[in-house]
Amino acid sequence: MKISERVERVPPSGIRRFFELTEEMDDVISLGVGEPDFTAPWSAREAAIDSLERGRTSYTANRGMMELREAIAERSRERYDLDYDPDEEVLVTAGASEAIDVAFRAFVDPGDRVAIAQPSYVSYVPGVTFAGGEPVPIPTREADDFELTAEALREHGAADAEALVFCYPNNPTGATMSERDLEPIAAFAREHDLTVLADEIYADLTYEGDHASIATLPGMRERTVVFNGFSKAYAMTGLRLGYALAPPEAITAMNRVHQYSMLSAPTTAQHAAIDALDNCEAQVREMRSQYDRRRRFVLSRFDEMGIDCFTAKGAFYVFPESPWEDAEAFAETLLDAEGVAVVPGDVFGAGGEGHLRVSYATGMNELREAMDRIERFLD
C-alpha cells in the first residue's frame, strides 16, 4: 500500500523505543510517564457513570455541550479575566492534542513555517508536518531557565513564520513563564504578525507564582489560540477531553476540521468535565500540592547526588543534566542496571540533548526507591 510522503517523513516517536525497552523488563519503576498517577476525581467519574445510566450516548453539538462551554468560559474569566463567548469562541475537543492538530490543519498551508519552542511535547512537529507545513524548531536553553526568548525567535528564523507554538508550564523541562517573560514574545508576535498557539495544558500545575496566559497581553487575544484540557490537572487523560479558546473566525475554521473528523468530543467525557469544573477544585489543589512535594523531593535528591538540575516550577517533570554526555546511553544503561526508566531529552527536540526527563507523577514510595536506585547506579 502506498504511504503518503507526509507520513513517511515523520519518524516514529523516540518515546516509543523506550516504551518497548521498558516493557521487556520486570520490576521497573518508570519515571517516564507523561500522565498523572492519580485517578480522575470520583465526583467527575460518577457524573460520567450517571450520564451513561441516563442514556446520554449520542453526539453533542460539534463545538461541545453548551453547558460545558459556558463552564469553560467562566473558568477563563475567573482565572485570567479573559472573556470568551461560549457560543463562538470555545471548541471542545478529544483532548487538547486534537485541538492542536485541528489548529495546524486550520491555520497552516503547504510550505508555511511554524515556529516550535523546544524541547517540547513530541506531537507539534509531526502535527505541522501532517498539515503540510514546515516546522521551525526554536531551541530554549537551560541558561534562560528554558524560557522562550525573543532573541531565540529572531535567531532561529521565527520572523517569517506564520505561527508560533509553545507550551508553558513545559513538558519536558517543567519551565514556566511569567507575564513579564511573555511580554517580549508577545511583542515579537505582534511585530511579525504571528498566530500564537499557546498550549496551557499544565497551567493548573504551576508551583511558583501564578500561571500567566499570553492571551491576556495587549493585542494578543485576537491572534492567540489557547489550548487546555482535563488530562493533567484533573487526571482525566483517558477520557480524552480538551478545548481551544480563540476569536470566532479561528474557532469557526478549527470547527470545520473538527466537525468533519471528530464530529464531537466524547459525550461521556463532557459530562465528567462539567462536573470536574463544578466540583473538583479542591481535589485539583490536593493533587497539585502532592506534585509540589514530590518536585521538591526529587530536586533535592538530585542536588544531593551532585546532578545539575534546573529548578522546574510547573508540570510534573524535572529535566536534569545527564550525568553522562550521552543521555540516551545513560537512560538505557540505567534502565538495564537498576530498572529505572527515564526519557533522554533529545526525543523532545532542540535544546533537550544532554538532559533527561524525569516524571514525578509517581507515588512517593516508588519515587524514593527510584532515587535510591539512581544514586546507587551513580556510585
Binding residues for other proteins, per CB under 8 A? 13, 15, 18-19, 22-23, 28, 30, 32-35, 37, 121-123, 171, 289, 293-294, 296-297, 300-301, 341, 343, 364, 368
Burial of 92 (0-12, 13-18, 19+ CB in 10 A): buried
φ/ψ bin of 23: left (φ > 0), alpha (ψ from -120 to 50), beta (otherwise): alpha
For other proteins, which is the closer residue by CB, 15 or 49?
15
Helices (DSSP H) in 83-168: which residue ranges?
A: 95-107, 124-130, 150-155
CB of 230 to other proteins, least distance (A): 16
Q: Which of 72, 92, 82 lies closest to 255, judged by CA?
A: 92
As measured in angstroms, the least distance from the Cβ of 300 to other proteins is: 4
How far apart are CB 220 and other proteins at their closest, in Å?
A: 28
**Cis-peptide, bond into residue 119, ω within 30° of zero:** yes
Name the residue among 103, 63, 310, 64 with its Cα closest to residue 199: 103
User: Is 178:209 a contact under the CB 8 Å cutoff?
Assistant: yes
Closer to other proteins by Cβ: residue 84 or 230: 230
How far is residue 304 from each of residues 282, 297, 374, measured CA to CA in Å? 33, 11, 12
CB 17 to other proteins: min, Å: 9
User: Which of 84, 124 has the CB closer to other proteins?
Assistant: 124
Rounded Cα–Cα distance for residues 63 and 375 (Å): 50
Cell numbers found for residue 88: 463562538
> Measured from the CB atom, is 171 or 216 closer to other proteins?
171
Q: Which residues contact 211 (CB under 8 A, 6 or more apart)?
A: 79, 168, 169, 176, 200, 203, 204, 314
Tell me which residue has cell 535528591.
301
**CB 279 → other proteins: shortest distance, Å?**
18
Minimum Å gap between C-beta 60 and other proteins is: 28
Distance of closest approach, residue 296 Cβ to other proteins, in angstroms: 5
Indicate the residue type of 2.
Answer: K
Comparison of 19 and 377: residue with beta carbon closer to other proteins: 19
* CB-nearer residue toward other proteins: 82 or 335: 335
Nearer to other proteins, 9 or 296 (CB): 296
